[in-house]
Amino acid sequence: MRNIKLTLQYDGTAYHGFQRQDPRPTIQAELEKALVTITGEPVRLVGAGRTDAGVHALGQVVSFKTTARIPTERWPAALNSLLPPDIVVLTAEEVALDFHARKSARRKTYRYVVANAPLPSAFLRNYAYLVRERLDLEAMQTAARFFLGRHDFAAFRATGSSVKTSERTIYRLELRRQPFEVLPWFWLAEAANPKLDQEGQDLQPTLLHFIVEADGFLYNMVRIIVGTLLEVGRGRFQPGDVGAILLSKDRARAGPTVPARGLFLERVEY
């Protein structure tokens, strides 16, 4: 028996999330179907993070046990030949039998992408959340610092979720503005869009990346943190309000949950 660890990326747009939910299409069901075909045995896999419907992954990790003797380096190509093109296995490695993709994870990094622009993008519609208002980035940066360290994040989880503790440690919460010059070519390029400024829409299109690294995440935690920081950016919350919201442990005081489509599970560390 061998224990195999896969790193994969997927476009979550067409799926009802990672976790199996038959007969709906899920990442887990697609992977398990491909693994059964390759190994000829039933395979149950574990994912590091149960991404929701519409959430994407750049570096999701899954593990499964198998008796198949396929050389480790062959797994990615073998799986990719069977998987739909919106799921791609990047790497495979054999790990100790006690390795568990979820339980062994020490840190995870999520990225949330906001398209801050006057117009939607035909190409980023499934990969970024459109915010049309001008945002105060400096205030958002200041507010972001309140999240760092160990806190009870009860105010930043979906109501009704039940886990033993809502204490988590955030190691990093970075807010990056992607310079206009290095935006993807299919973004609202100046070449394609010379008239934006003339219409009184003086908002320079940009992408904002929120990068959050923590020892674990509560349900919807990243999406509520980003929703709260955007309220700071709009001036509806002051940066200092974030500290008070954390202490309140009251979900109703935090900002809204932003849509799934801007969220990427970027990396899992063991």
CB of 222 to its own copies, least distance (A): 15
**Gap between the Cα atoms of 135 and 120, Å rounded:** 16
Question: Where in 11-50 is the site for its own copies (CB under 8 A)?
Answer: 11
3-state helix, strand, coil in the chain (%, to 5): 25, 30, 45
- The smaller minimum CB distance to its own copies, of residues 19 and 91, is found at 91
Task: List, in sequence order, every residue forming a beta bridge with 167; answer none if it has no partner.
Answer: 152
When asked if residue 3 is in the footprint of its own copies (CB under 8 A), the reply is no
Which of 46, 53, 58, 82 binds its own copies (CB under 8 A)? It is 58
CB of 169 to its own copies, least distance (A): 20
When asked if residue 132 is in the footprint of its own copies (CB under 8 A), the reply is no
When asked if residue 87 is in the footprint of its own copies (CB under 8 A), the reply is yes
**Gap between the Cα atoms of 108 and 267, Å rounded:** 6
- The smaller minimum CB distance to its own copies, of residues 182 and 252, is found at 182
CB of 239 to its own copies, least distance (A): 26
Location of structure tokens 């396929």: 70
52 among known catalytic residues: yes
When asked if residue 5 is in the footprint of its own copies (CB under 8 A), the reply is no
Cα separations (Å) of 153 from 144, 172, 250, 254, 259?
A: 14, 15, 9, 11, 19
When asked if residue 263 is in the footprint of its own copies (CB under 8 A), the reply is no
CB of 253 to its own copies, least distance (A): 31
Other C-beta atoms lying within 10 Å of the C-beta of residue 16 = 16
Which of 36, 37, 97, 123 binds its own copies (CB under 8 A)? It is 123
When asked if residue 80 is in the footprint of its own copies (CB under 8 A), the reply is yes
Which of 18, 110, 112, 127 binds its own copies (CB under 8 A)? It is 127
CB 98 within 8 A of CB 115: no
Other C-beta atoms lying within 10 Å of the C-beta of residue 94 = 13
Checking DSSP bridges between strand 263-269 and strand 56-66, what pairing results, if any?
A: parallel
CB 240 within 8 A of CB 203: no
CB of 209 to its own copies, least distance (A): 7
CA quadruple 182, 89, 25, 100: dihedral sign: negative
- The smaller minimum CB distance to its own copies, of residues 15 and 146, is found at 15
When asked if residue 93 is in the footprint of its own copies (CB under 8 A), the reply is yes
- Paired tokens of 13: 């747009």
When asked if residue 9 is in the footprint of its own copies (CB under 8 A), the reply is yes
Location of structure tokens 């190509």: 77
- In sequence order, which ranges of 18-68 are alpha helices (DSSP H)? 27-39
Which active-site residues does the annotation give? Answer: 52
Task: Enumerate binding residues for its own copies (CB under 8 A).
Answer: 7, 9-11, 56, 58-59, 73, 76, 80, 85-88, 90-91, 93, 109, 111, 113, 119-123, 125, 127, 181-182, 184-186, 188-189, 191-196, 199, 209, 264, 266-267
